[in-house]
Amino acid sequence: MKIKTPLPPTYFIVCLFLAVVLHYFIPIYQLINFPYRYIGLPLTLLGGILNIWSNWIFKQKKTTIKISQQSSALIIGGPFKFSRHPMYLGMFLTVLGLAIFLGSIISFLPAIIFFFIMDIVFISKEEKMMQKTFGQEYLNYKKQVRKWL
């Protein structure tokens, strides 16, 4: 029996929830205090904007956003000009922004976990699939644009 890996949005929601739960139930050292905690709000907003913008581009190009399906277009415009994975970056910024807003050290743990799960489990697979699908064109894009930021 094969265990199915949850999709990135599931990890995203779990990490948001976990940041709040850890902050309130295991409040280890308040690293960021008022009013500096509000720096997290623009990061959270930026993360949401990146996700909406990237999703909109996928729809415009009529290609899949699903990891299990092969892309029909190599997207290099919009937020893909500065990040090869702006949706993962957007989700990460949202979790990080929440951690900053909460301010406790423990609330940063889910952001760190999210980053490494996306990088190791999903991005590595996606990049192999993109290289296989788009070949040299993807390799050229990879040389010009960083993985995260």
Distance in angstroms (rounded) separating the CA atoms of residues 147 and 12: 18
Query: Structural domain of residue 35, as residue ranges?
Result: 8-65+73-144
Q: Specify if 1 maps to a domain.
A: no
**Does 3 map to a domain?**
no
- pTM to 2 decimal places: 0.94
- Residue from 132, 131, 14 nearest 84 by CA: 131
Which pLDDT tens digit goes with each residue over 97-123? Answer: 999 999 999 999 999 999 999 999 999
Residue 56, pLDDT score: 97
**Residue 2 covered by a domain:** no
Q: Mean per-residue pLDDT for 124-134? A: 94
Q: What share of the chain is helix, strand, coil (3-state, %, to 5)?
A: 70, 0, 30
When divided into structural domains, the chain yields a total of: 1
Rg (CA), the chain: 17
Evaluate whether residue 51 is within a structural domain. Answer: yes
In a domain, 32, yes or no: yes
